[in-house]
Amino acid sequence: MDALDVDSIRKDFPILGTKVNGKPLIYLDSAATSQKPSSVIEAVDYYYKNYNANIHRGLYELSIKSTEEYERSKELAAKFINAESYREIIYCRNATDAINIVSLSWGESGISAGDRILITDMEHHSNIVPWLELAKRKKAVLDHVGLEAGSYIDMEDFKRKLESRPKMVAFTNASNVLGTINDAKKMARLAHEAGATVLVDCAQTSPHMALDVRDMDCDFAAFSSHKMLGPSGIGILYGKAALLEQITPAIVGSDMIRSVTFDSAVWNELPWKFESGTPNIEGAIGFGAAIEYLNKTGMQRIRQHEIDITKYAMKRLSEVPGVSVFGPGMGEPERRVGVISFKIAGAHPHDVAQIFNSEGIAIRAGHHCAMPLVTQVVGEPAVSRMSFYLYNNKEEVDKAIDAITKVKKVLRLDGKE
């Protein structure tokens, strides 16, 4: 397998040529949202300039073209995650929206009073709050699996919690704070053996590694376009067709209806059954272009590049006194995506982020929408995070290490006046 030609890839991303505070932009916040290649930007621009029209409703050329490109992107998405059919691909706003669709639709009939819902301590708020609200609404019980060594899901605790026969088991494929990659296939198998329906939050894995929902055997999966080179405002809910057929949509109206009277309505076929109103057409087209870019680049090559750069960054961070890193250790780069949360002793993460910004480096600071996890693992309400993608290189890591040195100097943490 050829190594990724990062220098060539960087030329595809116009924003990487900009400057921040007079210095070249170093973007280390792809776990929050990725940058966009020219091919994605141009696909959206071309749609608006050449065939902007609503889909599924017009018999004129622009509408037909728009519909074709919208549906083609679904075919691309289905193949990207190895779904059986595009009928299992529901377009929504983002991964958060996808999880809410499941909690509001499947949850209405799938959860009753006294039933149990199981999540983990590693979850993003988007995979906590929808289940918390469902449990309140249905008088169900929300339980959570603890961590092992502050980095991994405690599988023994997971097995114990499964003994209570939860109806839904929802967990992240990879942590946006720790970077930890979970064995989704194994966890789904154990959950199914306990009789549960399984949802996997793939927001942090879909941009970085090949996904196979059939091999994983999850019932639902959720991820977002904006983290994988595509536009904001569009994401995917994957669901097994047989399960989606059984569920009553929670949001209704417009194109998701086959027929309607003042007495009743009949839902449309999959996947349109869950897509009410005019969708984010340009977002879908841009998402399709992003998937094509990822396919052309090669997910295995992207994954190997991120392992290499993460390993390098972990090594460089270990050389800096007073820096703590969270998640899998330096000898386990394969067990994490390109996410490194770190703490500089004596420095608040917000100060760290501002000083990094003065050097043109974009990193994240805060609880990363995972307050229970950050509080438990870090022991404080905030942490600094750098995250890598296919356009980052080792020189940028070196600049980030230099920025840490500046943080310590500015905040007088290096023992020098």
Task: Render pLDDT for 196-217 as a digit per residue (tens, 0 to 9).
Answer: 999 999 999 999 999 999 999 9
Q: Which of 103, 155, 167, 147 is nearest to 129 (CA)?
A: 103
Q: What is the pLDDT of residues 38-51, one digit of tens each?
A: 999 999 999 999 99
Listed by start position, the domains of the chain span 6-30+298-410, 41-295
pLDDT of residue 329: 87
Q: With 80 as the cut, is the pLDDT of residue 414 above it? A: no
User: 416 pLDDT band (50/70/90 cuts)?
Assistant: low
Percent with pLDDT over 70 in the chain? 99
Catalytic-labelled residue, pool 92, 202, 218, 369: 369
Strands 257-260 and 235-239: unpaired
- The CATH classification of domain 41-295, taken from the options 3.40.640.10, 1.10.1040.10, 3.40.50.300, 3.40.190.10: 3.40.640.10
> Token match 């075919």: residue?
75
Question: Which of 271-280, 318-327, 403-412 has the weakest average pLDDT?
Answer: 271-280
pLDDT of residue 345: 96
Can 369 be counted among the known catalytic residues?
yes
Q: Which of 233, 227, 177 is nearest to 202 (CA)?
A: 227
- Contact assessment for residue 152 and residue 315, using Cβ atoms and an 8 Å cutoff: no
Task: Give the Cα separation of 118 and 140 in Å (integer).
Answer: 11
Q: What is the mean pLDDT of residues 18-22?
A: 96
Looking at CATH, the fold of the domain delimited by 6-30+298-410 is given as: Aspartate Aminotransferase, domain 1 (3.90.1150)
Same fold: 6-30+298-410 with 41-295: no
pLDDT of residue 325: 96
291 φ/ψ angles, rounded to the nearest 5 degrees: -65, -40
pLDDT of residue 3: 87
Question: Which of 67-71, 210-214, 253-257 has the weakest average pLDDT?
Answer: 253-257
- Contact assessment for residue 112 and residue 121, using Cβ atoms and an 8 Å cutoff: no
Task: List, as own/partner pairs, every contact residues 357-360 make where C-beta atoms lie below 8 angstroms and the sequence separation is at least 24, other chains included.
Answer: 357/20, 357/21, 358/21, 358/406, 359/21, 359/23, 359/26, 359/399, 359/402, 359/403, 359/406, 360/19, 360/20, 360/21, 360/22, 360/23, 360/24, 360/25, 360/26
User: 78 pLDDT band (50/70/90 cuts)?
Assistant: very high
pLDDT of residue 184: 98
Q: With 70 as the cut, is the pLDDT of residue 52 above it? A: yes
Q: Which two tokens stand for residue 279?
A: 């969708």
Task: Give the Cα separation of 200 and 187 in Å (integer).
Answer: 10
- Mean pLDDT score of the chain: 96
